[in-house]
Amino acid sequence: MSDYDDQNIFAKILRGEIPNKTVYQDEYVLAFEDINPQAPVHVLVIPKGAYISIDDFGTNASAQEITGFYAAIAKISSDLGLKDSGFRCIANTGLNGGQEVPHFHMHILGGKAIGPIVSRAVA
C-alpha cells in the first residue's frame, strides 16, 4: 500500500487548517457534515489516526482505535435520531470503490430511504 498523504483534505481538517461542521468527536474519531450531502443526514466519520482506507485501518489500527471507531458510529447514529428509521454506512475504498479522499472515512446516510445499494455502478 502507498504511503499516507498528510496533505489530504481530511488530514487538514484534523489539524484544524480547514473548517468543518463537527457533529461529534472523541479521542478516536472526528465526525462532521459532508460538504455535498446526498441525504438529509450525511455525516463523515474519520479516525484521528493516519489511515488511508478501511483495509489500512482494519490491518494496522489498534484494537482500541477499531473499537472506538465503531462505538462512535453507534453513538453518532443514535444521537442523530437514525436508530429507529435506519441508515446506511459506506466506506468507498480505492480506485474501483470511488474513494476520493485518501483518509479512511465512513459515510453515514439517513433521514430518508437511501435507495439501491449501488446506484452509480459503471458497467
Active site residue ranges? 105
Indicate the residue among 84 and 116 with the shorter CB distance to ligand AMP. Answer: 116
Q: How far is the CB of 36 from ligand AMP (least distance, A)?
A: 4
Minimum separation from the CB atom of position 15 to ligand AMP (A): 13
Least spacing, CB of residue 38 vs ligand AMP, in Å? 7
To which residue does cell 463537527 refer? Answer: 22
Binding site for ligand AMP (CB under 6 A): 9, 18, 20, 32, 34-36, 44, 92, 98-101
Pairwise CA distance, residues 102 & 75, whole Å: 24
Which C-beta is closer to ligand AMP: that of 66 or that of 91?
91
Convert 9-42 to b/e letters by CB count within 10 Å (16 or more is b).
Answer: ebbebbeeeeebeebbbeebbbbbebeeeebebb
Note whether 39 and 114 are within 8 A (CB).
yes
- Helix/strand/coil for 88: strand
Nearer to ligand AMP, 22 or 78 (CB): 22
